[in-house]
Amino acid sequence: MEAYELTVTQALERLQRGELSCEEWTRACLDRARAVDGRVRAFVQLDEDGALASAREADAARKAGAQAPLLGAPIAIKDNMHIKGRKTTCSSKMLENFTAPFDATVVAKLRDAGAVFLGKTNLDEFAMGSSTENSAFFTTRNPWNLDYVPGGSSGGSAASVAAYETPFALGSDTGGSIRQPAAFCGIYGLKPTYGRVSRYGLVAFGSSLDQIGPLARNVEDIALLLNVISGKDPRDSTSSDIPAPDFTQALGRGVKGLRLGIPKEYFVEGVDPEVKSAVHQAIDRLCAQGAEAVEVSLPHTEYAISVYYICCTAEASSNLARYDGAQYGHSAAGSENIVELFTRTRSEAFGKEVKRRIMLGTYVLSAGFYDAYYLKALKVRTLLQRDFERAFEQCDVIVTPPVPTPAFRAGERIDDPLQMYLGDIFTISVNLAGVPALCCPAGFNAAGLPLSVQLIAPIFSEERLIQTASVHQELWRDKNIRALQI
Ligand code: GLN
């Protein structure tokens, strides 16, 4: 087995036993990235020198007896989180030359834990999209089939993990951006409870929805990474002081007596039959291990897309107002006055989808329409939250398809935004309700594309997701790296 194929858990054991060095591990990932990333295009920046230098430091620290949970572990970071002194582009022309003046809290925590930053991964511009085709730079490809999208917006992070360029990565999830690409790329992806992880240093999109989370090829590594990034941060007032447990303790707890809620609204017409059958199979296998399935209802699901695309565009229009050419990023040269500066800067440097969202968001917040759209959406958002509260009176974990279809072909939906938005139907309610959810690989369809199952738990119950996924994982070990088409 090559070092780049190791899980974090396996590699850390080898480091401990002296069978592997941090430098060898990082070098193996960098070599792998150099070999495959020309086709996958997951990274917008690969920091080879910086990564090797940190790996060597980690080796020295290990020799000196230092202990840190991820000492020497290579990781990729979505390019909407700050690493001090490196560019944060958000895959936008607006921030193409913006250098981060500070570390995001998650990055600072990873640094303290000894992680090695391999580089920054591609995304849909400002995290708006579901295919990574909205990147201003290039489209990332799905490592299982390069004609297909890896999902989005954390498509670069998901593809880099799936292609074995890194053992794990960080993504952000406003409406599914960790879970949907994890599903399309056949890996694990967890969106924590809103408030579990600090958003300080994450470029804001929809601040009441955004959450940072881990992507990895197995659930142990998800738990390890979640341990490091969770917790209260005085720099983010929306981070919660509810203590974060050691999530690895939930591994191997079993599912005996666990009630799995199956929401009927998620198994409707239009959901791909292979997607449905993978989820049913996952449920059956968990039930064979002692879980029990109960039907539940999330009756307001049909309103989720409308509510999400009102709330997130409203918040985006406000958050993105700061990119005016005067403070950050791109600034249109030769403008005669301030209005011209704002107009030209924003016209030149924002892509089509970002402009669409700013316009939609400005419209739903405008006097006269605020009550009819934004306020109404907030009310329905509360109903969606209550749907989950009621459902969790009858079950412990909700099990659903994460996306109605497997990955789609590059180019297939990019000119039809509504079609693109509709694909988010099963991930966005989770953000609107603030609950945590984990997508787990569940085999492949006839065309060889990954299938996935989404587990959803009540707020601050990520342990239940990890507990359930660790049983699930044992039952689905059916394909490996040799099947990758890169
Ligand atoms: N696909 C969704 C959107 O376009 C979700 C994006 C995200 O979670 N960042 O808004």
pLDDT at 91: 98
The residues carrying an active-site annotation are: 78, 153, 177
Cα-to-centroid distance, 174 and ligand 1 (Å): 6
pLDDT at 181: 98
Query: 453 forms bridges with which residues in the sheet?
Result: 440
Taking CA atoms only, the protein residue closest to ligand 1 atom 4 is: 129
Residues of the chain where predicted confidence (pLDDT) is lower than 50:
none
| Residue 127: partners with Cβ closer than 8 Å, 6 or more residues away | 78, 80, 90, 153, 154, 172, 174, 177, 203, 205, 210
Cα-to-centroid distance, 133 and ligand 1 (Å): 12
pLDDT at 297: 98
Q: Are residues 295 and 266 in contact, defined by beta-carbon separation less than 8 angstroms?
A: no
Q: Which atom of ligand 1 is nearest to the CA of 127?
A: 9
Task: Find, among 413, 461, 468, the residue nearest to 439 by Cα.
Answer: 468
Q: Are residues 438 and 466 in contact, defined by beta-carbon separation less than 8 angstroms?
A: yes
Q: Classify 292 as helix, strand or coil.
A: strand
Q: Are residues 120 and 77 in contact, defined by beta-carbon separation less than 8 angstroms?
A: yes
Task: Find, among 30, 21, 86, 99, the residue nearest to 60 by Cα.
Answer: 21
pLDDT at 328: 87
Ligand 1, pocket-test mutation among 92, 121, 124, 454, most atoms within 8 A of CB:
124
Q: Are residues 217 and 161 in contact, defined by beta-carbon separation less than 8 angstroms?
A: yes
Q: Which atom of ligand 1 is nearest to the CA of 309?
A: 10
pLDDT at 313: 98
Decide: residue 478, CB within 10 A, 0-12 exposed, 13-18 middle, 19+ buried. Answer: exposed
Q: Does ligand 1 come within 6 angstroms of the Cβ of 153?
A: yes
Query: Can you say how many angstroms the Cα of residue 171 is from the centroid of all Cα atoms in its chain?
Result: 4
Q: Classify 206 as helix, strand or coil.
A: coil
Where do runs of H (alpha helix) occur along 163-291? 179-185, 219-229, 273-288
Cα-to-centroid distance, 191 and ligand 1 (Å): 12
Q: Does ligand 1 come within 6 angstroms of the Cβ of 91?
A: no
| Residue 420: partners with Cβ closer than 8 Å, 6 or more residues away | 129, 130, 131, 413, 414
Q: Which atom of ligand 1 is nearest to the CA of 357?
A: 10
Q: Does ligand 1 come within 6 angstroms of the Cβ of 210?
A: no
Q: Which atom of ligand 1 is nearest to the CA of 209?
A: 8
Q: How far apart are CA 73 and CA 468, in angstroms?
A: 26
Query: 398 forms bridges with which residues in the sheet?
Result: 261, 456
The one-letter code for the residue type at 127 is A
pLDDT at 204: 98
Architecture of domain 3-261+393-480: Alpha-Beta Complex (3.90)
Q: From start to end of 332-476, where are the E strands?
A: 397-400, 437-444, 450-456
Taking CA atoms only, the protein residue closest to ligand 1 atom 5 is: 175
Cα-to-centroid distance, 484 and ligand 1 (Å): 26
Q: Are residues 431 and 175 in contact, defined by beta-carbon separation less than 8 angstroms?
A: yes
Q: How far apart are CA 179 and CA 456, in angstroms?
A: 11
| Residue 340: partners with Cβ closer than 8 Å, 6 or more residues away | 332
Cα-to-centroid distance, 209 and ligand 1 (Å): 10
Cα-to-centroid distance, 183 and ligand 1 (Å): 14
Q: Does ligand 1 come within 6 angstroms of the Cβ of 430?
A: no
Q: Does ligand 1 come within 6 angstroms of the Cβ of 145?
A: no
Q: Classify 475 as helix, strand or coil.
A: coil
Q: Does ligand 1 come within 6 angstroms of the Cβ of 424?
A: yes
Q: Does ligand 1 come within 6 angstroms of the Cβ of 313?
A: no
Q: Does ligand 1 come within 6 angstroms of the Cβ of 127?
A: yes
Cα-to-centroid distance, 453 and ligand 1 (Å): 19
Q: How far apart are CA 133 and CA 123, in angstroms?
A: 8
Q: Does ligand 1 come within 6 angstroms of the Cβ of 175?
A: yes
| Residue 407: partners with Cβ closer than 8 Å, 6 or more residues away | 142, 144, 145, 148, 149, 150, 151, 184, 185, 449, 450
Task: Find, among 126, 154, 266, the residue nearest to 212 by Cα.
Answer: 154
Q: How far apart are CA 16 and CA 420, in angstroms?
A: 46
pLDDT at 479: 57
Ligand 1, pocket-test mutation among 424, 429, 454, most atoms within 8 A of CB:
424
Ligand 1, pocket-test mutation among 79, 121, 128, most atoms within 8 A of CB:
128
* Predicted model pTM: 0.97
Q: Are residues 29 and 76 in contact, defined by beta-carbon separation less than 8 angstroms?
A: no
Token duo for residue 72: 């020497």
pLDDT at 482: 60
pLDDT at 1: 85
Q: Does ligand 1 come within 6 angstroms of the Cβ of 189?
A: no
Cα-to-centroid distance, 429 and ligand 1 (Å): 12
Q: Are residues 217 and 204 in contact, defined by beta-carbon separation less than 8 angstroms?
A: no
Q: Are residues 404 and 181 in contact, defined by beta-carbon separation less than 8 angstroms?
A: no
Q: Are residues 95 and 89 in contact, defined by beta-carbon separation less than 8 angstroms?
A: yes
Q: Are residues 106 and 39 in contact, defined by beta-carbon separation less than 8 angstroms?
A: no
